[in-house]
């Protein structure tokens, strides 16, 4: 696997808050894509790709943290999308998440830059500020 040169050295252990955030993003993404697990569905029908999960992470981060998303992620030791991949594969190794044979860490490499995804792309909904 290759990594980008912009990321500092990474920790292998991520905080519990980061893990919980990824699980929440996973569940919301499954729901959005109508891939929520039920006893009648096979695992393949509920699977989401690394890129789909990263998009769910981006959306949830903007919703929960706004312009502070990058700062929160840096506090968790997450500096690039590859770090989310490392976190996900750590959860897989711990038996807390599952993957398919096709899933690789490369699925998470350089999908988006945090600056583009969280800073440049952030829009404040001024209409919501005035709703009662």
> What confidence tens digit (pLDDT) does each residue in 106-119 have?
999 999 999 999 98
In the predicted model, is pLDDT for residue 79 greater than 70? Answer: yes
pLDDT interval class at 83 (50, 70, 90) = very high
Q: Give the C-alpha separation, 130 to 84, whole Å.
A: 35
**What's the confidence (pLDDT) of residue 17?**
96
Longest dimension (CA), the chain: 50
Distances (CA, A) of 127 to 44, 61, 123, 132: 40, 20, 12, 10
pLDDT tens per residue across span 31-58: 988 865 544 555 556 789 999 999 999 9
Q: Give the C-alpha separation, 23 to 6, whole Å.
A: 26
Q: Give the C-alpha separation, 115 to 8, whole Å.
A: 16
Tokens for 79, please give them: 């500096």
Distances (CA, A) of 29 to 49, 54, 86, 125, 127: 10, 9, 19, 22, 26
Which residues, other chains included, contact 93 with Cβ-Cβ below 8 Å and sequence gap of 6+? Answer: none
Residue ranges of alpha helices (H) inside the chain are 16-32, 43-46, 50-65, 69-75, 81-93, 114, 126-129
**What's the confidence (pLDDT) of residue 1?**
26
9-13, 64-68, 76-80: segment of lowest average pLDDT: 9-13
**What's the confidence (pLDDT) of residue 47?**
86
Predicted TM-score (pTM) of the model is 0.80
* Mean pLDDT, residues 72-100: 95
């Amino acid at each position: 696997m290759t990594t980008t040169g912009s990321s500092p050295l990474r920790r292998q252990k991520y905080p519990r808050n980061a893990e919980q955030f990824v699980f929440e993003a996973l569940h919301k993404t499954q729901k959005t894509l109508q891939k929520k697990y039920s006893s009648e569905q096979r695992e393949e029908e509920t699977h989401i790709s690394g890129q789909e999960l990263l998009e769910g992470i981006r959306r949830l981060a903007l919703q929960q943290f706004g312009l502070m998303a990058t700062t929160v992620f840096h506090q968790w030791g997450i500096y690039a999308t590859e770090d989310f991949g490392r976190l996900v594969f750590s959860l897989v190794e711990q038996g807390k998440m599952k993957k398919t044979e096709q899933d690789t860490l490369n699925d998470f490499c350089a999908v988006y830059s945090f600056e583009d995804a969280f800073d440049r792309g952030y829009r404040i909904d001024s209409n919501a500020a005035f709703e009662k």
